[in-house]
Structure 1
Amino acid sequence: MTPLFDLGFDFLALLAAACVYFFLCWLIARKIDNWSIVDVAWSYGFALVGLKLLSVHFYDKPLGGQGLLMTLATIAWSLRLGTHLAVRVLGHLNKEDGRYLQMRAEAGARMPWQMAYFYFLQAVALALLCLPLLSSSPYAATSPIRPVHWIGLGIVALALVIEGVADAQLAAFKKDVTQKGQVCERGLWAWSRHPNYFGEWLVWVGFVLMSYNATYRGIPGLACALIMYHLLTRVTGVALTERQLVASKGDAYVDYQRRVSAFWPRPPRP
């Protein structure tokens, strides 16, 4: 079989497993009446795929150096993001994320079935975005570690720092009772309305370089970075969050939108 056929087979197998995984998550979310758990499930999904590849590495066919580095970086990113979201979501199951409250208001009685479709899309997105990881599996390609992979790892590390700092700054702002009802403009949030999403996308830029090998030449990683940019800026990230924040913060957030970049960090306008 050709490497491309192997990659396609792995993708379809992962898509089937992801559909089952998110269907179970949908059942749980409907039972507890909180749709926010999809964010946790999606984030941890990458770690599950990475752990599967590690089991292959140790018990079947070893990963190449590039594949092992890519797998470990993916697991580390997934666990950081998933744990951050799990603490926020599972610690407040009686309080649903504002994005899903907004969707409830718009969907009404159709919400469970609209979310079934939404959860299915998360399964598809997970499978697609795992292509850089799958393209680094021992069945698809093996490659030694090269300088480009270390550069990619450096970008991923920088991105995780940006995400961590942005999350910490926002958490500190929310704990400040004197700022209740206000808009966070501290630190990174003064340069970008969504520095956490920018950091998230930067992770995928790093994955483009880390997934480069002689077989696929980083093409799956590049495609996924473009998909992630679209998702973060147009679908589930910035677009959905902004609708909810304008509704909850009103004119204060509209003024913030006027002065501060939505995604790309830059000095604020006067």
Structure 2
Amino acid sequence: MTFDSSNFLAVTGLSLLAVVVLMAATAVVGARQGRVAVVDTTWGLGFVVVAVVAALVGDGAGWRRIALVVVVAAWGLRLAWHVTRRNAGKGEDPRYEEMLSKESGNPTAVAIRKVYLVQGLAVWFVSLPIQVSAASGPGIAWVAVLGLLLWAVGLTFEAVGDAQLKAFKADSSNKGKVMDRGLWSWTRHPNYFGDSCVWWGIYVVAASAWPGVLTVLSPVVMTYFLVFATGAKLLEKHMGERPGYAEYRERTSYFLPRPPKKA
């Protein structure tokens, strides 16, 4: 079986439509709640929706379609649940407050243009390896296995890092302190590093069959957002003034894990 371009067009078109519907529903919920931050929950769910559409509509290798929908659902549903619990009872995210404060006009219209539309397009573009894979032939199995192993490393980093940070914050004696234990002593952003590995792993699975290798810009874009745009860079700006963070930054790797420097 070779790549079916007409089937890919059906997969990518329906994926885009599904993401548009999901983001439109999120915009309605956000407007009613007065919180753009609801989109953070939708972010993970958007990829799950695309993976399900690709698995149902695609006519490529069945085992790979099933594998991808399973790993994407495991990652996306965990992330959505984690974000929902983290944001429960809180107000607007400072990032969105700052963004909306710089724009004139109706806040909902601004949010649709600057947040929901941008994130919807990002979900569709980053998930292109899944969409292409759904219309591709069997490919090379051992390459796909390597991709799944990389995905597993990423999910472990992300889930363990989030759990360690949650436990740290739950201890009242740590209030005002900088989390520098566990995975957080090896990298200042284990969750973002894990997220990057997840999407590079998914890309490798897709690259196991032609023309999945051509979707390399998708994990590149995701990594760029995680490292330089909306992820680690913004968090560093927010944390930079916290007491002890400058010292933590000196001894701990920014993104790629490595043993911490001695004080």
Question: TM-score when scaled to structure 2?
Answer: 0.87
For 1:77 and 1:98, the matched residues in 2 are separated by 25
Amino acid aligned to 1:172: A
8 A Cα contact 2:186 2:257, kept in partner: yes
For residues 95-138 of structure 1, the C-alpha deviation after alignment (integer angstroms, 9 at most, x for no partner) is 3334334445655877544422222110100100111111121x
Could you say what secondary structure the match of 1:183 adopts? coil
For 2:50 and 2:119, the matched residues in 1 are separated by 15
- Aligned position for 2:242: 250
Query: Superposition RMSD on alpha carbons, in Å?
Result: 2.5
Question: Is 1:265 paired with 2:257?
Answer: yes
8 A Cα contact 1:142 1:213, kept in partner: no
Identity, % of aligned positions: 31
CA displacement at 1:194 relative to structure 2: 0.7
For residues 220-250 of structure 1, the C-alpha deviation after alignment (integer angstroms, 9 at most, x for no partner) is 1x2211111101011111122222223xx53
Could you say what secondary structure the match of 1:135 adopts? helix
- Aligned position for 1:127: 124
Amino acid aligned to 1:36: A
Question: Is 1:225 paired with 2:225?
Answer: no
8 A Cα contact 1:151 1:209, kept in partner: yes
Question: Is 1:97 paired with 2:93?
Answer: yes
Question: Is 1:180 paired with 2:175?
Answer: yes
8 A Cα contact 1:25 1:38, kept in partner: yes
Could you say what secondary structure the match of 1:215 adopts? coil
Alpha carbons of 1:62 and 1:260: their partners in 2 closer, same or farther (altered >3 Å)?
Answer: closer
Amino acid aligned to 1:64: G
For 1:81 and 1:262, the matched residues in 2 are separated by 22
- Aligned position for 1:17: 18
> How many residues are treated as equivalent by the alignment?
259
Question: Is 1:118 paired with 2:112?
Answer: no
Alpha carbons of 1:181 and 1:251: their partners in 2 closer, same or farther (altered >3 Å)?
Answer: closer
8 A Cα contact 1:152 1:209, kept in partner: yes
- Aligned position for 2:75: 77
For residues 173-203 of structure 1, the C-alpha deviation after alignment (integer angstroms, 9 at most, x for no partner) is 1011111111111111112111100000011
